[in-house]
Amino acid sequence: MADQIKTFKVEGARLRFRNFAGKEGDYNREGDRNFAVLLPDDLADTMREDGWSVKMLKAREEGDEEQPYIPVTVSFKNRPPRIVVITSAGRTNLNQQTVDMLDFADIRNVDLICRGYDWTVNGKSGTKAYLQTMFVEIEEDELERKYAQRNSEDAD
């Protein structure tokens, strides 16, 4: 009997440390596409119990609480994720060449599903999160909305 695939879903997700382009930085190797998703406390507790690699984001200001999050890998190698951007012009599927636009997008809402990959290295083990499906609503300014409408009218 096959093992059950671990997944989790977050609707209205808040993303941090966006690096969809896979740019090298202090905390990232060149080509590693990833981001972090903040987790509600109850989901974080359940995920920790199930072996997910949940981390804590330190409080920025005195009086703030630490926030649980999980790093999410965006890989197009074996099982590419489905990433859909939603604007007033409609829906657009992103791929490996276009996903980097999310690094600087003004995001209104994100719903996502991640699947787990169980790992064991040097006696330690856990479950790493990989993006499976993500729908992203983009916050548009008045010119983006104006010209999106014009394009749809021109198509008629």
Domains of the chain: 7-155 (2.40.50)
pLDDT of residue 28: 83
pLDDT of residue 67: 95
Whether the Cβ atoms of residue 57 and residue 69 lie closer than 8 Å to each other: yes
Is the model's pLDDT at 114 over the cut of 60? Answer: yes
pLDDT of residue 149: 66
pLDDT of residue 1: 38
CA distance 98 to 142: 23
Is the model's pLDDT at 144 over the cut of 60? Answer: yes
Is the model's pLDDT at 142 over the cut of 60? Answer: yes
Mean pLDDT, rounded, for 93-117:
96
pTM of the model: 0.86
| Rg, Å, the chain Cα set | 18
pLDDT of residue 156: 44
Is the pLDDT higher at 79 or at 4?
Answer: 79
Is the model's pLDDT at 152 over the cut of 60? Answer: no
Taking Cα atoms as reference points, which of 33, 26, 38 lies closest to residue 80?
33
Residue 5 tokens read as 């695939």
Dihedral angle computed from the Cα positions of residues 51, 99, 16 and 75, in that order, rounded to the nearest 10 degrees: 20
Is the model's pLDDT at 146 over the cut of 50? Answer: yes
For 52-103, the pLDDT digits (tens) are: 999 999 988 887 889 999 999 999 998 899 999 999 889 999 999 999 999 9
Terminal C-alpha separation, the chain: 53
SS (H, E, C) the chain: CCCCCCEEEEECCCEEEEECCCCCECCECCCCCEEEEECCHHHHHHHHHCCECCEEECCCCCCCCCEEEEEEECCCCCCCCEEEEEECCEEEEECCCCHHHHHCCCEEEEEEEEEEEEEEECCEEEEEEEEEEEEEEECCCHHHHHHHHHHHHHHC
